[in-house]
Structure 1
């Protein structure tokens, strides 16, 4: 059954523009399902039925996998079998009635405006000495907070993607969808300073990458995460971690400030408005918390 799997993975990569990371995740989930189906007596794709899929999913659940992982694996199988039907590899879709547990919807950890100010001020002070890496870190965190872009989108930026005149960046998001995202003057000033300091790190293969690592190559996602984690850890009063916390924070602060949901959806590059609506719950929770603390009759 490897041949149809490889066909589906090519479809994800070439037909739907999925990232290598996403394709690897689908492959892992489907290898698990196909291996279990073979052990359950399936010698070919057409031998996979709903009962086999349910037994596989039940064993996955018994092994202690989280609800979100089970939901993701179920979604991968549904996509695969639906594609197989369209390609004529299956007559009927065995996963049409395959259910999975609903994901727990955790409200993301976000920073308050005062925490964000302290974090950015601390980074700016550390960059006063002119160390290029410290200057880069200020620009990196300022841009993540200003725009709410994903860390994968950040490290993929080239210098030409930044328009300092219009205060916008051109971002290539999920599914190779391009969007334009605005940023403010603090991020612009940090970027101008970084572009001046960047020259100290440039090497032969730096290319046009906006953000560079210590050795002059394009900054990687892990390095960006370490930078943000260090800045957040330095606050000492938040459980927020990683670049996604800045994405959550940017979205929440926009909604707190009166931005409409559709605009925030466009800025974040969400394909579904339902994903963006999660941040309205965060704003309501923050409002409720402030009310309880401040109102004498709460």
Structure 2
């Protein structure tokens, strides 16, 4: 059973070129199934039935595994069995008809435009004379300007940008490339950082755009930590993280343009249903405006 999982992971890694994060998720889900099978004295993947999988899902749900985690696990097992079918290891896919309990999808948390301006206008002058904080401000500007994912931004090189720095080529999920515009404020912040970047360059730096103090490509974990610290020093009332800036980018664009298809392209979503969650945020904004402005919606003041 372990050999089949190892072969499947190699298939995802080398042929499908999935990210390390995705590979870890598959490995974790399949290990959970394999441990349960081993405990039940099951020796091969072909011995697992749909009824057994349903029973295990019920157990894990009772133990507190969320519906979202169960949905991901089902997706992992279903795809794994599709692979085993192509390899002739099994004759059917017992996960084909499995369904996890439905759960309400939480709306993403965003910053409003005033909060974004407060953060990016650097009210405390954190970037003045400090190369690393200048780099952090450029990272923040680029997240909000172009709606990048954390891993996408960390992987950027200097040659990822077009000649005038107005566009950036991004390598997204499943190695899918897209071109994304870069706003003027982000371009200015990047150019400011480039004046300091050379002092951090080492032989192993390569062409990475954002470097750490020791001269290596900045890691995703470092970016998360630095953004949180920058926002805290700026007096932000909420904890700021990279995906919050991506959500804010999408929400503010939809609020201004209403063009869901274009936002789908900019975010790199393969399915527009993923992008549609921002329409709920937009409706919340409209509903708030309605409640404040409509004569028949306003609450009467107590007399």
Q: TM exceeds 0.5?
A: yes
Compute the TM-score of the two structures, normalised by the length of structure 2. 0.93
Give 5+ residue unaligned stretches, structure 2: 298-303
Q: Which residue of 2 aligns with 1:190?
A: 189
User: How does 1:281-296 map onto structure 2 within 5 Å?
Assistant: 281-296=280-295
Q: Which residue of 1 aligns with 2:41?
A: 41
Q: For residue 283 of structure 1, report the CA deviation from its aligned partner.
A: 0.9
- Secondary structure at the aligned position of 2:257 is classed as coil
Q: For residue 294 of structure 1, report the CA deviation from its aligned partner.
A: 3.5
Q: For residue 282 of structure 1, report the CA deviation from its aligned partner.
A: 0.8
- How many residue pairs align between the two structures? 297
Q: For residue 207 of structure 1, report the CA deviation from its aligned partner.
A: 1.4
Q: For residue 232 of structure 1, report the CA deviation from its aligned partner.
A: 3.7
Compute the TM-score of the two structures, normalised by the length of structure 1. 0.95
User: How does 1:15-94 map onto structure 2 within 5 Å?
Assistant: 15-94=15-94
Structure 1 residues 239-248 or 184-193, which shifts more? 239-248
Q: Report the CA distance shift for 1:123/1:164 in structure 2 as closer, same or farther (over 3 A).
A: farther
Kindly report the root-mean-square deviation, in angstroms, between the aligned alpha carbons of the 2 structures: 1.7
User: How does 1:230-269 map onto structure 2 within 5 Å?
Assistant: 230-234=229-233, 238-239=237-238, 241-269=240-268
Does the 8 Å CA contact 1:201/1:214 hold for their aligned counterparts? yes
Over 2 Å off, 4+ runs: 230-241, 293-297
Does the 8 Å CA contact 2:147/2:246 hold for their aligned counterparts? yes
Does the 8 Å CA contact 1:147/1:267 hold for their aligned counterparts? yes
- Secondary structure at the aligned position of 1:181 is classed as strand
Structure 1 residues 183-192 or 85-94, which shifts more? 85-94
Give 5+ residue unaligned stretches, structure 1: none
Q: For residue 178 of structure 1, report the CA deviation from its aligned partner.
A: 0.9
Q: Which residue of 1 aligns with 2:300?
A: none
Does the 8 Å CA contact 1:18/1:175 hold for their aligned counterparts? yes
- Secondary structure at the aligned position of 2:204 is classed as coil
